[in-house]
Amino acid sequence: MTRYPRNMIGYGATPPDPKWPNGARIAVQFVLNYEEGGENCVLHDDAGSEAFLSEIVGAASWPGQRHWNMESIYEYGARAGFWRLHRLFTRSRIPVTVYGVATALARSPEQVAAMQAADWEIASHGLKWIDYKDYTAKAEAADMAEAIRLHTEVTGTPPRGWYTGRCSEHTVGLAAETGQFDYVSDAYDDDLPYWLRVGDHDQLIIPYTLDANDMRFATPQGFNAGDQFLSYLKDSFDTLYAEGVDGSAKMMSIGLHCRLIGRPGRVQALARFIDYIQGFEGVWCPRRIDIARHWHAHHPPAVSDRPNPSALDKQTFVKTFGGVFEHSPWIAERAFDLELGPAHDTAAGLHSALARMFRSANRAERLGVLTAHPDLAGKLAAAKRLTDESTAEQAGAGLDALTAEEHEAFATLNQAYVGKHGFPFIIAVRDHSRAGILNAFRARLDNDTDTEFETACAQVERIAFLRLKDMV
Catalytic amino acids?
373
Contacts of 326 (CB under 8 A, 6+ apart): 369, 372, 373, 387, 389, 390, 460, 463
Q: β-strands 26-34, 250-257: how paired?
A: parallel
447 exposure class (CB count in 10 Å sphere: 0-12, 13-18, 19+): middle
Three-class DSSP category at 99: strand
Three-class DSSP category at 120: coil
Task: Provide DSSP, 174-213.
Answer: HHHHHT--SEE----S-SS-EEEEETTEEEEE----SSSB
Backbone phi, then psi, for 25, in 5-degree steps? -85, -15
d(CA 54, CA 405) in angstroms, rounded, equals 83
Backbone phi, then psi, for 101, in 5-degree steps? -70, 130
Backbone phi, then psi, for 411, in 5-degree steps? -60, -45
Q: β-strands 250-257, 201-205: how paired?
A: unpaired
Three-class DSSP category at 125: coil
Nearest in space to 464 (alpha carbons), one of 314, 355, 336:
355
d(CA 241, CA 420) in angstroms, rounded, equals 59
In sequence order, the β-bridge partners of residue 26 are: 250, 283
CB 318 within 8 A of CB 329: yes
d(CA 109, CA 121) in angstroms, rounded, equals 15
Task: Provide DSSP, 414-441.
Answer: HHHHHHHHSS-----GGGS-HHHHHHHH
Identity (one letter) of the amino acid at 279? G
Task: Provide the H-helix boundaries in 199-338.
Answer: 226-243, 264-277, 288-298, 314-321, 329-336
150 exposure class (CB count in 10 Å sphere: 0-12, 13-18, 19+): middle
- Residue 69: count other Cβ atoms within 10 Å of its Cβ: 12
* Angle of CA points 215, 219, 221, to nearest 5°: 115
d(CA 427, CA 393) in angstroms, rounded, equals 11
